[in-house]
Amino acid sequence: MGEPVVEIAGVGLHPFGRFPDRSVTELGIHAVRAALNDAGITARPAFQAAFCGTAYAGVAAGHKVLAALALTGCPIVDVEAGCASGAAALMLADGAIRAGQYETVLVFGIEKMPKGIIRSTFFEPWREEVGLAATPAYFALRAQRLMRESALTKEDLAAVVVKNRANGAANPDAMFRTPVTAREVLGSRVVCEPLHLWMLCSPNEGAAAVVLRRAEGVSAHRSRVVVRAATLRSHLPGNVLGEATPLAGLIDDRDIPSPTTLAADAAHEESGVGPDEIDVVECQDTDAARELLAYEELRLCAPGEAGSLLASGEVHLGGRRPVNPSGGLLSKGEPLGASALGQVVELTLQLRGRAANQVDGARVALAHTVGRGANASVVILSR
Amino acid sequence: MTEVSIQPEFFLLDAGDGRPALVGTYCRSCARRSFPPSSTCSWCGNEQTDTVHLSRTGTLWGWTAVTAAPPGYRGPVPFGFGVVELPADGIRVVTRVAVADPDQLHHGQPVELVVDVVHTDEESGARVVSWAFAPAGHQEAR
């Protein structure tokens, strides 16, 4: 008997977008049913536990989805970790299976975001009243610092949007499916200098589901996708602006590792897979600069080299290691609880060789999100 | 007209010398400061903390302009937004910036604490004021 292996037995997705006629529960039903079908699970009980990632769906939101499918009775736990909620749910499921607690676990994420700037109880009422609950402004400060320290320009930011929107044009589950030019991106209105509207992802709606199953040892089944690591890390004291939202009064130094770097290093150690062995990446592109920062934090390039990496074409389709072949959040939009699992669905299809923008011969994949708190998740999958 | 601090506990309109001040936390254990003040130190978690007045001058570390009203905000847009480094305190604070045109600002620019009107309360007619940082020598925001 080898080490227990956690395999992805099935994946399902409800497209990301705006669906005024469908409740968040209905989005979840769609994704969960698709994942169970994909896994070929018809017997009951279908799984021994379920973890549901969501930030805005409310009390017992996961229970409502599974109640509608008559799949209750097992433990059902809703998990909130901002934009990393779905990955946090995956981490808990993966750990429980590895510990021998369960054989099969359902992980899903659901969300219906309000339109406009995300309102969050993370910000105290006084912070809202004074205008400091302006999420895009924090993104802008982070972008500004990255541009200053890595010698990036607005043209580099626009190039990220052009890349991702071109990829998204082929993704039937994306919200935005038209390619854009750099000129159009730079011509869209400035939300918070240096970020223009089209450099920011749209909060939206969607659901994603993954069935995890315990499998003993190494399988000869070549198409099987396994979870090599599912890590989540929060910020260290003194580092917040590197991530989603800074708290006043904390110094943000580059010599303090960001949550993304902490999660990535832990994932590489846990999996034994180094950054150079990754074939395809889905990373958090809540704004265009966030993707460039991820290149550095995930150690896809050296600090300060994000612009060179982008310009080299390595991260484009057909390059050595494409980043966000799905189109990223810039194309898909971001339903918080579902977005991390949407990445896992995309990468599972990549490893099965069945993605819309297939990366030839992809064997190892990495998914990354950053959420308010700050939380960062890194998931490494392989076949 | 009456002025009301957005947070009287840590934004003082008169710190005793007729000038405004921000109140932070000093940790007796690790000797670090933080803002806003808290009963625990955000660096080490210690509960032995004192309140201190933060320095009124610093340098601009990051800045932008917010062009659309964020949730819960009833003041005018655009308004300046940024992070100011307070070298004497060893921390940075998130703040309104009295200049809403990013082109007029630069990294490391000397700035000073000012009183900034956020909005006028409809019921009481009082002006709700916040702290902001303005380029040194800049006319006060109000």
ipTM of the complex: 0.94
Residues of chain A positioned with their CB less than 8 A from the CB of B83: 141, 241, 246
Q: Which of A26-30, A55-59, A326-330 has the lowest mean pLDDT?
A: A55-59
Cis amide linkage into residue B87, ω under 30° from 0:
no
The torsion angle over the Cα atoms of residues B85, B89, B91 and B97, rounded to 10 degrees, is -40
- Gap between the Cα atoms of B28 and A342, Å rounded: 46
Least CB–CB distance from A131: residue in B43, B75, B107: B75
- The residue count of chain B comes to 142
pLDDT of residue B104: 96
Nearest CA in chain B to A149: B107
Is B83's CB within 8 Å of A246's CB? yes
Cα A294 to Cα A146, A283, A291, A338, distances in angstroms: 11, 7, 5, 20
**Each residue's pLDDT tens digit, A19-46:** 999 999 999 999 999 999 999 999 999 9
- Side chain identity at A166, as an amino acid letter? A
| Beta strands at B57-66 and B3-5: parallel, antiparallel or unpaired | unpaired
pLDDT of residue A247: 53
- What average pLDDT score do residues A361-377 get? 92
Is B69's CB within 8 Å of A237's CB? no
The band of A220, judged by pLDDT with boundaries at 50, 70 and 90, is: very low
- Gap between the Cα atoms of A104 and A45, Å rounded: 10
- Gap between the Cα atoms of B70 and B74, Å rounded: 9
Q: Is residue A3 scored above 90 in pLDDT?
A: no
Q: What percent of chain B has pLDDT over 70?
A: 97
The band of A236, judged by pLDDT with boundaries at 50, 70 and 90, is: confident
- Gap between the Cα atoms of B109 and A355, Å rounded: 49
- Shortest Cα distance, chain B CAs vs residue A154, angstroms: 14
The band of A371, judged by pLDDT with boundaries at 50, 70 and 90, is: confident
Is B70's CB within 8 Å of A190's CB? no
Q: Which residues of chain B have pLDDT under 70?
A: 139-142
Cβ A350 vs Cβ A358: under 8 Å: yes
**Each residue's pLDDT tens digit, A137-196:** 999 999 999 999 999 999 999 999 999 999 999 999 999 999 999 999 999 999 999 999
- Gap between the Cα atoms of B129 and B115, Å rounded: 6
Nearest CA in chain B to A247: B94
Of A243, A238, A285, A282, the closest CA to residue A260 belongs to A243
Best of B38, B64, B92, B106 to substitute, by most chain A Cβ atoms within 10 angstroms, is B64
Q: Is residue A4 scored above 80 in pLDDT?
A: no
- Gap between the Cα atoms of A307 and A296, Å rounded: 10
Is B62's CB within 8 Å of A129's CB? no
Reduced to 3 states, what is the DSSP secondary structure of residue A98? Answer: helix
The band of A363, judged by pLDDT with boundaries at 50, 70 and 90, is: very high
- What average pLDDT score do residues A312-320 get? 98
Reduced to 3 states, what is the DSSP secondary structure of residue A85? Answer: helix
pLDDT of residue A1: 47
Chains A, B: CB contacts within 8 A come to: 118
Is A129's CB within 8 Å of B42's CB? no
Residues of chain B positioned with their CB less than 8 A from the CB of A137: 64, 66, 70, 81
Q: Is residue A244 scored above 90 in pLDDT?
A: no
Count CB neighbours of B9 within 10 A. 11
Indicate yes or no: pTM above 0.80: yes
Reduced to 3 states, what is the DSSP secondary structure of residue B93? Answer: strand
- Shortest Cα distance, chain A CAs vs residue B16, angstroms: 23
What is the per-residue DSSP string for A182-218? HHHHHHSPEEETTEEGGGBPPB-EEEEEEEEEEEES-
Least CB–CB distance from B66: residue in A125, A134, A251: A134
